Amino acid sequence: MGGRLIAWIDERFPLTWFIRHELTEYPTPRNLTYWWNFGFLAGFVLVLQMATGIFLAMHYKPDAGLAFDSVQHIMRDVDYGWLLRYLHSTGASAFFVVIYVHMARTLYYGSYRSPRELVWWTGQVLLLLLMATAFLGYLLPWGQMSYWGAQVITSLFEATPLIGKELVVWLRGDFVVGDATLTRFYALHFLFPFLIAAVVVIHLIALHAVKSSNPSGINLEAKDNIPFHPYYTTKDLFGLGVFLVVFCGFVFFAPDFFLEPANYEPADPMRTPEHIVPEWYFLPFYAVLRSVPDKLGGVVAMVLSILIFAFLPLLDRSRIPGGARYRPIYRAAFYLFVADVLVLGWVGSQPPEGAVIVVGEVATAVYFLLFALLPVFSKPEERWLLRRGLPPKVQELVEAEARQRAAREAARRAAEGSP
């Protein structure tokens, strides 16, 4: 019966071909490490967030007078409502952990470079959508930190030249964050995950066109690839098991770990919390915002600190594959960058006083300096490494690429010279 149904579908739609071609028999490098599990984990967390979100939406009330109480109702009265909420709130943090590791892996191995630029750029769109979704969702519990966080972030748009004030009112739907803001944030928070899912499909189509990179940095020959199933389905499921142990540890034993105590108080527009902090995953960018004394300058620096990742394929001019693996200067820059982001995160969590301000300014300068220095050091580093000698396969690859480039250039010149 099942076989006949599939045959019926296959005559009208390439289902079996698609599953074989893109999943089970999809050729995958045999040497992928566990760092390559995080894309799959991101997909899993996306599905988890969408599934728990839909059930939360059945009980949540997007009304400034009811929102806070409806969350308490979910926690206390709805069957397993506490579980739904803790899965969703811990899931938001888990999503960022997974995505930041996914991005760090890509940075370390330089997988953003040709031919994977579109995979990287669609990933960048996913990062922006994810940040927007998290920010919108944080208002929904209508606690003190939700309210004042939204107040601070929306007021940043005031720095926009000429239309700043009008823009803020337009975003909030009111002169202050209020009921109109809550309902529009709710509508968009519901919509954005579907956009994320659509962009994930584009991300994966782009990935399958160029195939995954691998830790050696060398494009493997067909014989060095293995089918995705059962090898990587098993590896991904094992990784998922480990992830779930840690994730469930937080959900069941420390569900408040990622939640702000001030958010257990209902929003009060007449009382500002002593210290307004965003969620941990925004802290480094928040620190960049505060480190520039001018309001507009701070907003521009913060937006740039996120968008600058998109320029990486253009900034990195080295032709040595494998990213940090074979490039000592790039490797040092990578570790310095990770340390700098952690320092920025700490700065963002502290009240902006005394030494914290200075540390924030230095860390912000280092952050941008590392991006600015990449085009400066990548070519000299490449020349130095080629002179010093690389592993034979890598050296061969770089030389073959240089020959191909020279041949293309010669062909172009010949074509231009011909009548």
Contact set for ligand HEM, span 87-106 (CB under 6 A): 99, 102-103, 106
Q: CB 334 → ligand HEM: shortest distance, Å?
A: 15
Binding mask 350-389 for ligand HEM (x = CB under 6 A): ----------------------------------------
Question: By C-beta, is 55 or 120 nearer to ligand HEM?
Answer: 120
Q: Identify any residues that bridge with 225 across adjacent strands, giving them in sequence order.
A: 29
Residue 267 near ligand HEM by CB under 6 A: no
Q: How many angstroms separate the Cα of 48 from the Cα of each of 44, 78, 89, 341?
A: 6, 19, 11, 28
The CB-of-10 to ligand HEM minimum distance in angstroms stands at 26
Q: Which of 55, 60, 96, 112 binds ligand HEM (CB under 6 A)?
A: 112
Q: Active site includes 236? A: yes
- Candidates 235, 316, 340, 381; catalytic one: 235
| Pattern 297-326, ligand HEM, x by CB under 6 A | ------------x-----------------
> 28 has which bridge partners?
226
The only residue of 26, 36, 185, 192 in contact with ligand HEM, by rule CB under 6 A: 36
Residue type, position 171, single letter: L
Least spacing, CB of residue 194 vs ligand HEM, in Å:
12
Query: Is the bond preceding 375 in cis, omega lying within 30 degrees of 0?
Result: no
Helix/strand/coil for 253? helix
Piece of 119-127, 360-368, 376-384, 403-411 that binds ligand HEM (CB under 6 A): 119-127
Half-sphere exposure of 219 (CA within 13 A, CB side): 11
365 vs 159, 290, 292, 310, 382, CA distance in Å? 22, 13, 10, 19, 25
Judged by CB under 6 A, the residue of 64, 71, 94, 119 near ligand HEM is 119
Q: Is 212 in the site for ligand HEM (CB under 6 A)?
A: yes
Q: Report, in Å, the least distance between residue 219 CB and ligand HEM.
A: 11
What are the distances in angstroms from CA 274 to CA 71, 144, 160, 174, 413?
Answer: 24, 11, 27, 25, 66
Strand stretches in 198-279, DSSP E = 225-227
Is 77 an annotated catalytic residue?
no
List beta partners, residue 227. 27
| Position 344 contacts ligand HEM (CB under 6 A) | no
CA distances in angstroms from 74 to 92, 246, 260, listed in the order given: 18, 24, 18
| Active-site pick, 59, 73, 208, 295 | 208
Whether 212 is catalytic is: yes
Would you call 102 a catalytic residue per the annotation? no
**Stated length of the chain:** 419
Give the interface segment with ligand HEM, choosing from 67-75, 141-149, 181-189, 205-213 (CB under 6 A).
Answer: 205-213
Q: Is 39 in the site for ligand HEM (CB under 6 A)?
A: yes
Orientation angle between helical segments 179-210 and 164-172, nearest 10 degrees:
90
> What's the CA angle centered on 15, arms 14 and 19, to 5 degrees?
115
Q: From the list 94, 139, 150, 196, which residue makes contact with ligand HEM (rule: CB under 6 A)?
A: 196
Q: Does 43 participate in binding ligand HEM (rule CB under 6 A)? A: yes
Query: What radius of gyration do the chain's Cα atoms show?
Result: 24
Residue that has been written with the tokens 């803001």 in this structure: 181
Q: State how far the Cα of 280 lies from the Cα of 257, in Å rounded to an integer.
A: 11
CA distance 186 to 180: 10
Q: Is 51 in the site for ligand HEM (CB under 6 A)?
A: no
d(CA 276, CA 153): 11
Active-site pick, 61, 111, 236, 305: 236
Annotated active-site positions, please? 208, 212, 235-236, 279
Please report, as ranges, the residues that interact with ligand HEM according to CB under 6 A.
Answer: 36, 38-40, 42-43, 46, 99, 102-103, 106, 109, 111-112, 116, 119-120, 123-124, 126-127, 196, 200, 203, 207, 212-213, 309
